[in-house]
């Protein structure tokens, strides 16, 4: 009767995967939009290439945030209590911190936008710096939310928060590249700037993918169990969508010197990397929950 219990279902479904992906993209889109003000002349003023993207990037970030918030609230069993993580703040729970940072991040976007309309450089700088930190905290807290579950060994891994931040770099770059290409403003300088970030994020993702592979194969019984589940239930998503389409193909594209900086090829690579960023999260979130489903 109870050898296999289908009520031992995993708690987090596709809403959480979509939320994790979109909030990462929203965060990094804001970082790109605020980069000219935050970084100014650092690195030879390379961030200035994002100036044409500033306002549209803020709107894109706000739109993504406007999707994320309700999505997260609707995922709750008690949506009307969505403020409780702030009202009954529990400092040991990453979810509480995320719930606090999420509206603050939204306020920073609005503040930065207001500053750009009024040409208030001081307001833009402060909201830009604070907003960028909060933007990075979004994928960071989603990774921490998994990492703190020491009982789920696929998640309980310090690389997960870092991986999620790096994946958000890929998805954020994709948002910027697509928008700028459609607007016809992805010039050589902007492409150069995005190329550097995409190359970095893909290289680190590739390294973390390999690290995950080693950790799971050389790990404990539960890690090996997770590896088995990944290869049985999520083989296509893990090896096909994540590794081949989401990491290897775009990495090859951006690594070829002449090809990688071409705006269209760069946008293609960024979109592929965003597909991989979604798929990687999906596999990790689902497979991490399935390990103990029979226990």
Partner 1 sequence: MPVGLQTEPSLGVPGKKRWAMVVDLRRCIGCMACVCADKAEYDVPLGVWRTTVKVKDTGHYPNTKRHFMPRLCNHCDNPPCVRNCPTQATYKHEDGFVLQRYERCISCRTCIAACPYNARHVLPKNRDRVKIGGVVDKCTFCNHRVEKGLAPACVQTCLGRSRIFGDLNDPNSEVSRLVARHKTVVLKPDKGTRPQVYYIKPDRAQTEQVFSAPQSYAARSDAQAFYQRNRGSKFFSGVL
User: Can residue 92 be called a binding residue for partner 1 (CB under 8 A)?
Assistant: yes
- What is the total count of residues that contact partner 1 (CB under 8 A)? 52
* Closest to partner 1 by CB, 8 or 231: 8
Interhelix angle for 159-182 vs 188-217, to 10°?
A: 150
* Closest to partner 1 by CB, 76 or 255: 76
User: Can residue 88 be called a binding residue for partner 1 (CB under 8 A)?
Assistant: yes
The token pair that represents 101 in the structure block: 């940072």
User: Can residue 14 be called a binding residue for partner 1 (CB under 8 A)?
Assistant: yes
User: Can residue 224 be called a binding residue for partner 1 (CB under 8 A)?
Assistant: yes
Residue from 44, 117, 119, 150 in contact with partner 1 (CB under 8 A) = 150
Closest CA to 194 of 262, 129, 140, 124: 262
Long-range contacts of 230-234 (CB under 8 A, 24+ apart): 230/283, 230/287, 233/286, 233/287, 233/290, 234/282, 234/283, 234/286, 234/287
Return the sign of the alpha-carbon dihedral for residues 229, 230, 234, 235: negative
User: Can residue 85 be called a binding residue for partner 1 (CB under 8 A)?
Assistant: yes
How far the first Cα of the chain sits from its last, in Å, is: 14
Q: How far is the CB of 110 from partner 1 (least distance, A)?
A: 25
* Binding to partner 1 in span 39-78, by CB under 8 A: 75-78
User: Can residue 81 be called a binding residue for partner 1 (CB under 8 A)?
Assistant: yes
Q: How far is the CB of 6 from partner 1 (least distance, A)?
A: 5
Q: How far is the CB of 20 from partner 1 (least distance, A)?
A: 13
Residue from 113, 234, 243, 280 in contact with partner 1 (CB under 8 A) = 234
- Using CA atoms, how far apart are residues 159 and 139, in angstroms rounded to an integer? 12
Residue from 44, 122, 184, 221 in contact with partner 1 (CB under 8 A) = 221
38: Cβ–Cβ under 8 A, 6 or more apart, which residues? 31, 47, 125, 128, 129, 132
User: Can residue 286 be called a binding residue for partner 1 (CB under 8 A)?
Assistant: yes
* Closest to partner 1 by CB, 153 or 212: 153
- Give the SS3 label for residue 63: helix
Residue from 41, 121, 151, 217 in contact with partner 1 (CB under 8 A) = 151
- Using CA atoms, how far apart are residues 242 and 230, in angstroms rounded to an integer? 12
User: Is there a contact between 267 and 178 (Cβ–Cβ < 8 Å)?
Assistant: yes
Residue from 35, 90, 197, 199 in contact with partner 1 (CB under 8 A) = 90
Query: For the chain, what is the largest distance between any 2 Cα atoms, rounded to a whole number of angstroms?
Result: 68
Q: How far is the CB of 291 from partner 1 (least distance, A)?
A: 7
User: Can residue 4 be called a binding residue for partner 1 (CB under 8 A)?
Assistant: yes
User: Is there a contact between 164 and 145 (Cβ–Cβ < 8 Å)?
Assistant: no
Residue that the structure tokens 């700028």 belong to: 180
What residue ranges bind partner 1 (CB under 8 A)? 1-14, 75-78, 81-82, 84-85, 87-88, 90, 92-96, 99, 145, 148-152, 221-222, 224-225, 233-234, 286-287, 289-295
């Amino acid at each position: 009767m109870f050898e296999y219990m289908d009520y031992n279902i995993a708690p987090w479904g596709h809403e959480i995967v979509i939320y994790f992906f979109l909030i990462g993209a929203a965060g990094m889109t804001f970082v790109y939009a605020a980069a000219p003000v935050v970084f100014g002349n650092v690195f030879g003023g390379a961030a200035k290439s994002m100036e044409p993207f500033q306002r549209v990037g803020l709107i894109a970030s706000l739109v993504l945030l406007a999707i994320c918030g309700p999505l997260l609230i609707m995922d709750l069993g008690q949506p009307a209590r969505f403020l409780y993580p702030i009202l009954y703040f529990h400092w040991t729970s990453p979810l509480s911190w995320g719930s606090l940072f999420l509206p603050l991040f939204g306020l920073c976007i609005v503040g930065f936008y207001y500053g750009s309309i009024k040409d208030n450089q001081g307001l833009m700088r402060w909201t830009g710096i604070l907003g960028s930190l909060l933007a990075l905290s979004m994928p960071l807290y989603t990774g921490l939310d998994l990492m703190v579950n020491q009982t789920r060994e696929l998640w309980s891994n310090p690389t997960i928060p870092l991986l999620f931040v790096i994946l958000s770099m890929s998805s954020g770059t994709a948002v910027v590249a697509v928008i700028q290409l459609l607007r016809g403003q992805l010039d050589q300088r902007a492409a150069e700037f995005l190329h550097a970030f995409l190359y970095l994020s893909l290289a680190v993702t590739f390294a973390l993918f390999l690290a995950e592979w080693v950790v799971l194969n050389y790990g404990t019984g539960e890690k090996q169990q997770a590896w088995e589940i990944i290869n049985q239930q999520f083989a296509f998503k893990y090896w096909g969508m994540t590794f081949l389409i989401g990491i290897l193909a775009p990495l090859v594209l951006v690594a070829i010197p002449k090809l990688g900086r071409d705006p269209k090829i760069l946008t293609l690579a960024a979109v592929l990397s965003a597909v991989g960023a979604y798929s990687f999260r999906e596999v990790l979130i689902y497979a991490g929950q399935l390990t103990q489903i029979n226990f």
